[in-house]
Amino acid sequence: MKLTDLLTKDYDKKDWEGYQLPKFDLEAVRAKTHDQPTWLHFGAGNIFRAFPAALLEDLLDQGVYDRGVIVAEGFDFEIIDKAYAPYDNLSLLVVLQSDGSIQKKVVASVTESLRADPQFAADWARLEAVMTAPSLQMVSFTITEKGYSVAPADLERGLSPVLIMGKVAALLYKRYQAGALPLTLQSMDNCSHNGDKVKVAVLAYAEAWVKAGLVDEGFLAYLKDGSKVSFPWSMIDKITPRPDALVQEMLEKDGFEDRDTIITGKNTYTAPFVNAEETEYLVVEDRYTNGRPPLDKAGVLYTDQATVDKVERMKVCTCLNPLHTAMSIYGCLLGYTLISAEMKDEDLRGLITKMGHIEAMPVVVDPGVLKPADFIDAVLNKRLPNPFMPDAPQRIATDTSQKLPIRFGETIKAYRAKGLDLDDLVLIPLVLAGYARYLKGVDDEGSAFTPSPDPLLAELQPMVAPLEVRTGEQDVSCLKALYSRKDVFGVDLYEVGLGERIEGMAAELFAGPGAVRRTLHKYVSAR
């Protein structure tokens, strides 16, 4: 069984039992997309194939749309050479269910794959043709937050930039020259206010080029005209890990041959298949200048910018990210290496369940399009317990000092703003107390561990250095220097009346081997 078998007329359908196959005419869709493209996407990584491309597959299977998506890769060209071209742009999506089962779906919505760089003359010429097509409605991105960066040196390269946003700006100039045709640039990256990141980057190049006299001022006016070019916000949420060995074993049993992991020279991990969790969300600001594919018929939630922002805040401040951080701190202290294993621990599961439903819910930002309680339930019952998700508390603990202000400080601020009693917060203070024990780098058995990378680690660790993991009373006043840091916690915890209480919890956590477990159990059970 090979993906390219599906492009022949005589493949045996019996071999593909248990696999969802395309229900549309691939040749017809490819031909129409070539002649009248509507959607160009930059970023050929796993998240694209597992989510946006799979959504389009649903539309094509339903018969409610007739064109595919063209993908371009501007950073790691080997992805195109090794994961797309040999398989004629077909891929296999393996959906990892929380019950340990998998769903297998062939994704055929990608009709072309291009290397986005002028050194590949034919690919670049095709990109220019696509970008100047009047039918083109949307250019989307999954290039990570770093992909939107602009370097002064690249601005000085004029109309021959090497960074992806510069290349996009150069292609937009071609569209402007073709008649200032309308277009929407849609980020689908997991970063706040992502549409603005596209806009800022593209305008930086345009402004530099106008200043240098390389393009006329009309190009800049075109990009700033919201009726011509728009940059909507979106919130995307879906986990797509590296190709998983367990999945490869399952596919091998099926006789599926296209299952080898591909590691590129730039250390990208990919494969002819992509494995991903079942839960997914894409909420998009509905601000398009030339129409859009009807992705709402595949589950995308289209709304206004304010609602997208509320969904983002709901996820980041209350319903997902704080739970992740709580799991990471206590997971490291209790010796766990998998989040899914932590979810079998009654104390840890109780910690995040009660923290989310009891302590966060009174101040949650309700976006209306998603119910916060349902979102948390999906996190607790589907996402975090998923045995296929090889996520580790050590990875999530990276840069914790940068995450605490948003993930917990905002909730504390919201309690004060609403006049709520901060004494009602028990488990959030417990997480913050756990951070001091985490900074000590000693687990609950008394063994040393190395905290995950963090820009403030060298600065914060000395603040807990006087404390020891031992029984008996000890002076915890050294913690005042830590818990008064507004840059770390979003607030001075003493000013809001939580500092002393957190100190007391921290003292309990330092009270010898087994203190983390005893303290965690005590407060979770009482809550």
b (16+ CB within 10 A) / e for 132-167: bbebbbbbbbbbeeebbebeeebbeebeebebbbbb
Per-residue pLDDT of 217-246, as tens digits, reads: 999 999 999 999 999 999 999 988 888 888
Per-residue pLDDT of 413-453, as tens digits, reads: 999 999 999 999 999 999 999 999 999 999 999 999 999 99
From-to residues of CATH 1.10.1040.10 in the chain: 307-526
Average pLDDT, the chain: 95
Distance CA 170, CA 153 (A): 16
Amino acid symbol at 406: I
Strand partners, 186: 140
Give Rg (Cα) of the chain.
25
Q: Is 262 exposed, middle or buried (0-12, 13-18, 19+ CB in 10 A)?
A: middle
In degrees rounded to 5, what are phi and psi of residue 96? -90, 110
- What's the DSSP call for residue 125? H
CA angle 36, 187, 95 (to 5 degrees): 85
Q: pTM score, two decimals?
A: 0.90
Other C-beta atoms closer than 10 Å to the C-beta of 227 total 7
Q: Which of 95-104, 165-174, 293-302, 510-519 has the lowest mean pLDDT?
A: 95-104
Confidence of residue 97 (pLDDT cuts 50, 70, 90): confident
Confidence of residue 58 (pLDDT cuts 50, 70, 90): very high
From-to residues of CATH 3.40.50.720 in the chain: 3-303
Other C-beta atoms closer than 10 Å to the C-beta of 322 total 26
Distance CA 16, CA 440 (A): 53
**Mean of pLDDT values over 120-135:** 98
Other C-beta atoms closer than 10 Å to the C-beta of 197 total 22
- What's the DSSP call for residue 472? S
What's the CATH code, domain 307-526? 1.10.1040.10
Confidence of residue 394 (pLDDT cuts 50, 70, 90): very high
In degrees rounded to 5, what are phi and psi of residue 477? -65, -20
- What's the DSSP call for residue 4? G
Q: How far is CA 285 from CA 29, 85, 193, 261, 306, in A?
A: 27, 33, 10, 36, 8
Closest to 139 (Cα-Cα) out of 147, 128, 131: 131
Helix (H, G, I), strand (E, B) or coil at 336: coil
pLDDT of residue 388: 80
Confidence of residue 105 (pLDDT cuts 50, 70, 90): very high
pLDDT of residue 13: 87
Q: Hey, which CATH number is domain 3-303, 3.40.190.10, 1.10.3720.10, 3.30.429.10, 3.40.50.720?
A: 3.40.50.720
Beta strands in 304-427 (DSSP E): none
pLDDT of residue 120: 97
Helix (H, G, I), strand (E, B) or coil at 80: helix
Res 107 pLDDT > 80:
yes
Res 11 pLDDT > 90:
no
Longest dimension (CA), the chain: 78
Res 100 pLDDT > 80:
no
